[in-house]
């Protein structure tokens, strides 16, 4: 009888302890904010062609995993090869034009130097002619005085006058030549300025050369854009492209789920988020894997949600939903949770759901440790 009573008491104690532990764990889940309205999200990269042409190579299939740099599809490159050849030809022509313009500048500079030297020579000739004219004038004046006194013959006076007239005419001719040389010099300077302006900057700074080089680079990029590669590691999803389809510039062609960007959005009632802080530990139980809870950390809490009441409705009047005064429906606010150490056997899929429980006051606790699954009623 005593043994039976002891067994009953021991069994009862074990049952009470078990019930207490279960009740404690269940209460632990109840006092922390939780929601069944959790959803897996990820960055979706819209793969958008940069050029338009038919697709000639499509090595991927729907739902395939690809790594950064893997070829997704290839666009017909022939048009862009031709455009690149034309741009290169224009670049070669531009270089030839620049060399021709350089020769014109050198010729114009030589002409300026030539007329400048001619002006210097002409000035020297005029200086000599002015000296000769002064001598002829002085000689003519002496001969005129001597002729009046009868000291020299009339022929000597006439010869002196002729020499003076010749010197005077020669000086006038040289002065006209100097004026002409100055005019030619000014014209040569103008032609030099035009040639230099036509040429532009010298070397790699030349505007024509840079424009032609930029056209070649643009054509090279267009040719490179015919091979569309994966910008991130991820999964191709909802692939509808086919060989021969027309890739259209700046229009999304397929979606790529970035595998390194997964997070969970838990939509918590507004009366439950007051105690949630950035960095708090979160337990995520996916509907796909109910027995494999995941650990996460609260990254951020949304600052606003869309409102229906007051939005413009029919006849531009505000659209107001009818509500009962004694019922207040709590709005749901998105809480972003960053996942930590997702096991390899768990495959996250965008849009799938799960429950999210936030352990408040744990923002300073380290990661790690066992992650208990949420009770079935909370999943």
Question: Residue 379: its pLDDT value, please?
Answer: 55
Q: Quick: pLDDT tens for 10-23.
A: 666 666 766 666 66
Mean pLDDT to the nearest integer, 320-346:
81
Distance separating alpha carbons of residues 176 and 170, to the nearest angstrom = 10
**CATH entry, 33-43+259-378, from 2.60.120.260, 2.40.30.170, 3.40.605.10, 3.40.50.800:** 2.40.30.170
Q: Tokens in use for 241?
A: 């492209």
Q: Quick: pLDDT tens for 218-253.
A: 999 999 999 999 999 999 998 999 999 999 999 999
Please give the CATH architecture assigned to the domain spanning 53-76+226-251.
Beta Barrel (2.40)
Q: Which of 22-31, 134-143, 289-298 has the lowest mean pLDDT?
A: 22-31
Q: Quick: pLDDT tens for 342-365.
A: 898 999 999 999 999 998 888 887
Question: Residue 102: its pLDDT value, please?
Answer: 85
The more confident residue out of 223 and 373 is 223
pTM of the model: 0.70
Question: Residue 2: its pLDDT value, please?
Answer: 53
Q: Return the CATH superfamily for domain 80-220.
A: Helix Hairpins (1.10.287.620)
Domain ranges, ordered by start, for the chain: 33-43+259-378, 53-76+226-251, 80-220
């Amino acid at each position: 009888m005593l043994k039976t009573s002891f067994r009953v008491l021991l069994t009862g104690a074990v049952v009470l302890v078990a019930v207490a532990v279960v009740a404690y764990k269940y209460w632990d889940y109840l006092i922390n904010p939780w929601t069944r309205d959790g959803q897996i999200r990820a960055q979706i990269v819209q793969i958008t062609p940069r050029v338009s042409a038919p697709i000639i190579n499509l090595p991927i299939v729907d739902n395939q995993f690809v790594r950064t740099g893997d070829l997704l599809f290839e666009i017909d490159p022939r048009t862009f090869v031709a455009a690149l050849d034309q741009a290169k030809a224009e670049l070669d022509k531009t270089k030839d034009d620049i060399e021709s313009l350089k020769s014109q500048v050198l010729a114009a500079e030589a002409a300026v130097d030539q007329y400048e030297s001619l002006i210097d020579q002409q000035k020297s000739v005029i200086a000599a002619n002015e000296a000769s004219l002064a001598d002829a004038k002085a000689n003519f004046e002496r001969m005129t005085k001597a002729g009046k006194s009868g000291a020299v013959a009339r022929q000597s006076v006439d010869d002196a006058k002729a020499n003076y007239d010749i010197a005077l005419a020669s000086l006038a001719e040289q002065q006209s030549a100097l004026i002409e040389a100055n005019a030619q010099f000014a014209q040569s300077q103008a032609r030099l300025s035009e040639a230099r302006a036509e040429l532009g900057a010298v070397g790699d700074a030349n505007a024509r050369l840079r424009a032609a080089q930029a056209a070649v680079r643009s054509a090279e990029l267009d040719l490179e854009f015919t091979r569309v590669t994966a910008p991130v590691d991820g999964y191709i999803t909802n692939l509808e492209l086919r060989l021969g389809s027309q890739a259209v510039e700046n229009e999304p062609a397929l979606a790529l789920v970035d595998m390194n960007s997964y997070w969970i959005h838990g939509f918590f009632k507004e009366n439950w988020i007051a105690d949630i802080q950035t960095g708090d530990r979160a337990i995520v139980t996916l509907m796909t894997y109910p027995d494999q809870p995941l650990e996460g950390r609260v990254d951020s809490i949304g600052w606003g949600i869309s409102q229906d009441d007051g939005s413009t409705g029919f006849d531009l009047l505000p659209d107001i939903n009818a509500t009962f005064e004694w019922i207040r429906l709590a709005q749901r606010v998105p809480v972003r949770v960053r996942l930590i150490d997702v096991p390899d056997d768990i495959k996250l899929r965008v849009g799938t759901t799960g429950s999210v429980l936030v352990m408040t006051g744990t923002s300073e606790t380290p990661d790690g440790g066992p992650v208990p699954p949420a009770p079935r009623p909370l999943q």
